[in-house]
Amino acid sequence: MTDTKSTTVAPADLRTAHEALAGTTGFVEIRGAGTAEGWAGAQEPADLVLDTGKLTGVLAYNPADMTVAVRAGTPLRDLQAELAEQGQRVAFDPARVARGATVGGLVATADSGPLALAHGSMRDLVIGATVVLADGTVARTGGHVIKNVAGYDLAKLMHGSYGCFGLLAEIVLRLHPVSAATATVRIDCRLGTAAEHAATVLASTLEPVALEWADGMLLVRVEGTEAGCETRAGQLAELLGGAVLSEQGALAAWKRHADLVNDAVVRIGCRPSRLPGVLAASGGTAVAGLGTGIGTVKVPYEAIEAVHDAVTAVGGTSVTRQRSPLPARAWGRPPSAVRTLRELRAALDPGGRLCRGRFENWFTGEAIS
């Protein structure tokens, strides 16, 4: 949300990103592809909009090292296409990637997809980053090697920060091979049954890379060699009483999954075994990562508060993925260390310039209700 007086700057590299913030004043909105603009708290009107639309391109890619450095405004979809030519990928598949979400935006919003079961989220895949702080200071963290414990891992701080600790300008990612084959097993069932199936699968040694229930269908995906996938998908289908989907069938099923996630109103994280209960109680259209404990639900706006409360009651966290026209909290309970977050905000952005409002009242020092 910006008012008419704001100026938009679209830096194309680190230097211009630095110049946009160094020696300037006023509030700043960071804008990527806009695919998560409606997530979390609304950004307050800013004097300057930093648009990462031109901050794109691969900086270094050595396939043999399986790492890539990119400018943060690069759409992940474009990067994946480039990596696929070498048989590699970022093992990360959130729903909004297809809509052009940027690498930086995906890190800043702590997004994830079904593959998180096997590969985690961006926090597990980012190995280095270059960040521009509110005062223009350029800081590097991590590096270009997957194993590295030198210094604080500031990329983790940026993960899920919605831009409040700095602008992600460059990101180094670890890559994985594109597997030779993949197969998906589908079981049509209710969420409660799906949870029982999930427990069976997770107690087996079949190692699914994704295990998701999406509004009436349980999808279990395996990846590996051609023969291995066929064997394991067959075993899963038999174990759970489901069907191995054709390639087209699998694409369609996962597309439906992504559509449901894209349409969700609240994103939830909690202990995996508690997720089905919370989702069922919400009464909404739900998608459940039964191994990860990450789920999304579409509910009417007036039900958002009730979802936050139910998630909080089981010790989970929640955040909205669509801006409610009604007064409703964007975030469920704030984290236990909210005071430390406030101190870090004060240390890295003392004027509170960046992306104000994204965390509602976490940073303002107001009492947290």
- Tell me the residue type at 40: A
Are 146 and 127 spatial neighbours (Cβ–Cβ below 8 Å)?
yes
Q: Footprint of another protein on residues 87-126 (CB under 8 A)?
A: 87, 110, 112, 116, 120-121, 123-124
Task: State how far the Cα of 328 lies from the Cα of 326, in Å rounded to an integer.
Answer: 6
In 3D space, the residue among 193, 191, 316 whose CA is nearest the CA of residue 266 turns out to be: 316
Q: CB of residue 331 vs another protein: minimum separation in angstroms?
A: 8
Stretch that binds another protein, among 131-139, 242-250, 252-260, 297-305 (CB under 8 A): 131-139
Candidates 2, 80, 231, 262: give the one binding another protein (CB under 8 A): 231
Stretch that binds another protein, among 47-55, 240-248, 257-265, 312-320 (CB under 8 A): 312-320
Q: Footprint of another protein on residues 254-283 (CB under 8 A)?
A: 267, 269-274
Q: CB of residue 342 vs another protein: minimum separation in angstroms?
A: 9
Phi, psi of 173, deg, nearest 5: -120, 145
Candidates 28, 76, 101, 133: give the one binding another protein (CB under 8 A): 133
- How many residues are given for the chain? 369
CA–chain centroid gap for 50, Å, is 21
Q: What radius of gyration, in Å, describes the C-alpha atoms of the chain?
A: 21
Candidates 32, 160, 284, 357: give the one binding another protein (CB under 8 A): 160
Site for another protein (CB under 8 A): how many residues? 96
State yes or no: residue 15 binds another protein (CB under 8 A): yes
Stretch that binds another protein, among 9-17, 73-81, 212-220, 239-247 (CB under 8 A): 9-17
Place of tokens 């590996």: 224
Burial state string for 340-358 with b = 16 or more CB within 10 A and e = fewer than 16? ebeebbeebbeeebbbbbb
State yes or no: residue 232 binds another protein (CB under 8 A): yes
In 3D space, the residue among 141, 124, 131 whose CA is nearest the CA of residue 161 turns out to be: 131
State yes or no: residue 60 binds another protein (CB under 8 A): yes
Stretch that binds another protein, among 77-85, 251-259, 280-288, 343-351 (CB under 8 A): 343-351
